[in-house]
A and B are shown apart, each in its own frame.
Chain A
Amino acid sequence: MFMAKKPLLEFTDRGIYCPVGRFYIDPWLPVDDAVITHAHSDHARVGHRRYLAHEYSEQVLRYRLGEIQLQTVPYGETLMKNGVQIGLYPAGHVIGSAQVRVCYQDEVWVVSGDYKVDDDGISTPFEPVRCHHFISECTFGMPVYRWKPQAETFAEINNWWRKNVENGLATVIVGYSLGKAQRVLQNLDLSIGKVYTHGVIENTNEALRRNGIALNPTHRITTDLAKEEIRKGIVIAPPSAVGSPWMRRFNPYDFGYCSGWMSIRGAKRRRAADRGFVLSDHADWDGLISAIDATGCEKVYLTHGYTASFARYLNEIGFDAHEVHTLYGGDELTAADEEIAPTQPPPEGEALVPDDESKVLPSGEDLGGAGL
């Protein structure tokens, strides 16, 4: 007689769970054992008893989550948990980001976490992993999102910076503190000038350096730095700094925003950025389809973003795709999200602002209303 087999991974209200191995992957409520794909706040939360992550994530996780019990592994090495084999493989999303491969009795599942397929020159490039079941993000799962090669975008950024220096304007480039900031840093033309960083970004840089990652030289912004000096260089700032007094002191400045959302004019306008640079740490439409195809999977489950549309399209072109509701990224911010806010205060300036671009925030304005 045929018995319906329990799936190796299931979607619970705490997160993705492996009942045989008794561990979770990127859970959003406190659990005993959590495998963490990467250190972004919608994936790595406080309150778990034990953490497992890639070795390059170690210092950033400790900086962000404080005292945690953490075990790390390099890419490709496997370990066993209650008879289930776990291995981490490069996701190319940010430094230390991993896809989690879970194998039990010849059945293989892969959880992508967040990923991109293009080599950004700093994160270990994405590697497709063959599997039966693939849980994939699809933050940019619409065909209007297609990235150009990053060399083109960085040529734009460097030209813009050069022009601002000529015009005596400070240059402020905005990107998330883990991932985008380092990617920008490593691709700037340092013959133009020095790189200055916001405290939150410099803290992240320092954590990465402690982890042995070689980053270009940066200078933390302090109050005693002369405005004229900063104007000759470039400032890397996190999204939370936009419009803040911290940023206004660079006046006159031009500010550029780096994000995949910038490929749409409307989104660019809502950010009120002087310049929008299309630069994403997520896979674009073609990247998602090629990555999913390369796994050879029988079934694909979609999280983050345009899950419904993307699932429908994948089904039409012959995949067995399913939409999954998670608390990652682009779904509506629910009350639950706020309840599980970190118990310790988040690093300066990043309170509750997701550090991953998979959440679109409005331009952050208080428009007042009655009684203003």
Chain B
Amino acid sequence: MKAFAQLFLSLDETNKTNEKVRVLKDYFLSVPDSDKMHMLALFTGRRPKRPINATLVRTWAMEMAHIPVWLFEESYQVVGDLAETITLLLPKSTSSSNKTLTEWIAEINAIATQTEEGRKQWLLSSWETLDTQERFVFNKLLTGGFRIGVSQNLVVKALADISGLDAATVTHRIMGNWMPENYQFADLVAAEGLSDDVSRPYPFFLAYPIQETSEKQKTAGELQVALGDAAEWQAEWKWDGIRAQLINRNGQIFIWSRGEDLATEKFPELHPFLKALPHGTVLDGEILSFKDGLPMPFNVLQTRIGRKNLSKKILEESPVALIAYDCLEHNGEDIRHKPQAERRLLLEQLQAATAHPDIFRISVLIGFNSWGELAEIRGQSRSMIAEGVMLKRKNAAYQVGRRRGDWWKWKIDPLSVDAVMIYAQKGHGRRADLYTDYTFAVWDGDKLVPFAKAYSGLSDEEIRKVDNFVKRNTLEKFGPVRTVKPELVFEIGFEGINYSTRHKSGVALRFPRILRWRTDKPMEEADTLETLKALL
């Protein structure tokens, strides 16, 4: 655990990419293999289940720190993070422990079945043996909010450097339905991949935006210069649903959403056609709510996803279907290296053979002969309930991650990101008494980086609610500005984005504004600086 705590601290202590990679490699090279896998598991969101509920953890921490409840709550307001608050309040430890990360996680998993008294004794004596930095990561593990301050790219780079594998292979191999208890580091870095995880999806290929602002439309001439001959490209509508990968291997089916969540059970309507596909098939596509053969706006699907249980009513109101984009695996063979046009033919064959064409749909190709013609067609996106068009080079392979060159999205809406409010300031005039001016941040690793200030685009009722939240959740005050507990997520629209050395985020936005309050999104799901920079 000492090494893991040190890793966390070292990553926190540097903003430099090379240094982060070095720290990661040092970590991987110095800990046992099982610890490596546990670290990767935590990094990829495979956290242990919470063995003790947060209320009990709080209560026992207060007991150990001899602090009244109200003072604990106020301390929490100051710190803004439960694990850190507890770490700062506990008295200094009296002994130390050499248990590895693997051993600690095994204990955390085992303790869940103990009596309350047993769990309490375990927790208090654990705290007793951990130093400040260890306590912090331990509390993070225990309370669930674990994030490591480093992007996936850097972890992949460190692993690739160590193993001699290429980054795309590593990215692929850390995906899937594994747990550190059943996936060995040796298998992860083996020269020849073992494909024993039938659930494992491929990394998604993501498109870059072709134009920076919605004001300055790209002309046909500019597209000709940027992309070349229109005949080399296929165009499709850009659908606003949930990007997903659907797998049938040996008759077992899996549905992965882009956030790398296994979402098989969330979409029962898709099971029959998926089960009927030839074994060894992987499809890439968009899941949307459909009614009477027409896609419905995203928020219809969104309410459905938010639900724990899919009631009959929801299934009736918001039935889903797949619009397939691509075929990544065919007859058990990874065909991502084949050209787009060839993969498209295989996809069309699969779709033509399905007995469920209403559910297994295919993303139709838009016929166009020139860029000018496509630009005109794009203007109809809204009536298609699409976000714009997608451009894919006909001879391109299916690549890993967001890359420039072969896939472009040509959206119609203003650019937007989901961001977390971190500062608030009072307004002017009529609203001089309300907090209406906000500063928003996106994630950079586990840090929130401010990138835009926007005045309210909210309704009066929403403003009152946000104002109330600000007043109850102020962490610090400086002059008229309050630092607010990061929690509320808003969709921020803007007209353009440019590099900026004056801003910590490295970008400056044109005309940022609040499009809506995303009460449905936890702050962990706000966008990242990477996403924002990808819009550049």
Contacts and interface: CB of A to CB of B under 8 A. Distances in A.
Interface of A: 142-146, 263-267, 269-270, 272, 274-275, 306, 309, 312-313, 316, 330, 332-333, 359-363, 365-372
B478 A333 contact: yes
A144 B13 contact: no
B504 A363 contact: yes
B89 A369 contact: no
Contacts of B451: 367
Nearest to A363: B504
Given A265-B84, A362-B478, A370-B455, A143 B503 contact: no
B74 A309 contact: yes
Contacts of B81: 265-266
A9 to B, nearest CB: 27
A363 B483 CA distance: 11
Interface of B: 12-15, 65, 67-68, 70-71, 74-75, 78-81, 84-85, 88-89, 423, 439, 447-448, 450-455, 475-481, 483, 502-504, 508-513
A266 B450 contact: no
A221 B454 CA distance: 40
B453 A359 contact: no
A264 B503 contact: no
A312 B68 CA distance: 11
Nearest to B89: A143
A144 B503 contact: no
Nearest to A330: B477
B452 A367 contact: yes
Contact of B75 (A143, A269, A333): A143
Contacts of A269: 447-448
B80 A369 contact: no
Given A264-B78, A367-B503, A144 B483 contact: no
A150 to B, nearest CB: 16
Nearest to B440: A367
Nearest to B513: A370
A264 B89 CA distance: 12
A264 B80 CA distance: 9
The 8 closest A-B pairs by CB, nearest first: A144-B88, A333-B479, A367-B453, A369-B453, A144-B75, A360-B476, A309-B74, A360-B478
B450 A367 contact: yes
Given A143-B88, A366-B503, 17 more contacts: A144-B79, A264-B78, A266-B79, A266-B80, A266-B81, A312-B70, A333-B479, A333-B480, A360-B476, A365-B503, A365-B504, A368-B452, A368-B503, A368-B508, A370-B511, A370-B513, A372-B508
A367 B475 contact: no
Contact of B13 (A143, A275, A359, A367): A275
Contacts of B439: 367
Contacts of A332: 477, 479-480
Contacts of B508: 368, 372
Contacts of A367: 439, 450-453, 503
A332 B13 CA distance: 30
Contacts of B455: 369-370
B14 A270 contact: no
B89 A366 contact: no
B18 to A, nearest CB: 11
Contacts of A145: 88
Contacts of A274: 13-15
B67 A270 contact: no
15 contacts: A143-B89, A144-B78, A264-B80, A266-B475, A269-B447, A272-B15, A272-B504, A306-B74, A332-B480, A360-B478, A361-B478, A362-B423, A362-B478, A362-B481, A367-B450
A285 to B, nearest CB: 10
A360 to B, nearest CB: 5
B533 to A, nearest CB: 16
Nearest to B496: A372
Nearest to B74: A309
Chain B CB within 10 A, most for which of A269, A359, A361, A366 = A269
Contacts of A264: 78-80, 84, 88
Contact of A368 (B68, B74, B453): B453
A274 B20 CA distance: 12
B487 to A, nearest CB: 13
Contacts of B512: 369-370
A263 B15 contact: no
A358 to B, nearest CB: 11
A309 B74 CA distance: 8
A146 B509 CA distance: 40
Contacts of B452: 367-369
A143 B67 contact: yes
Contacts of B481: 362
A39 to B, nearest CB: 22
B62 to A, nearest CB: 11
Chain A CB within 10 A, most for which of B85, B447, B448, B451 = B447
Contacts of A360: 476-478, 483
A332 B65 CA distance: 30
A331 B508 CA distance: 32
Given A270-B483, A368-B508, A313 B71 contact: yes
B67 to A, nearest CB: 6
Contacts of B15: 272, 274
Given A332-B479, A367-B439, A142 B78 contact: yes
A322 B511 CA distance: 47
Chain A CB within 10 A, most for which of B81, B479, B508 = B479
Nearest to B91: A146
Contacts of B70: 312
Contacts of B502: 365-366
A284 B476 CA distance: 18
Nearest to B66: A143
Chain A CB within 10 A, most for which of B439, B476, B509 = B476
B70 to A, nearest CB: 8
A368 B505 CA distance: 12
Contacts of A275: 13
B457 to A, nearest CB: 11
A264 B79 CA distance: 6
Contacts of A265: 12, 81, 84
Given A264-B84, A274-B15, A360-B476, A316 B68 contact: yes
A369 B14 contact: no
A360 B423 CA distance: 13
A372 B510 contact: yes
Contacts of B79: 144, 264, 266
Nearest to B500: A368
Contacts of B85: 144
Contacts of B480: 332-333
B476 A267 contact: yes
B454 A369 contact: yes
Contacts of A316: 68
Contacts of A359: 478
Contacts of A272: 15, 504
Contacts of A143: 65, 67, 71, 75, 88-89
A372 B496 CA distance: 10
A330 B483 CA distance: 14
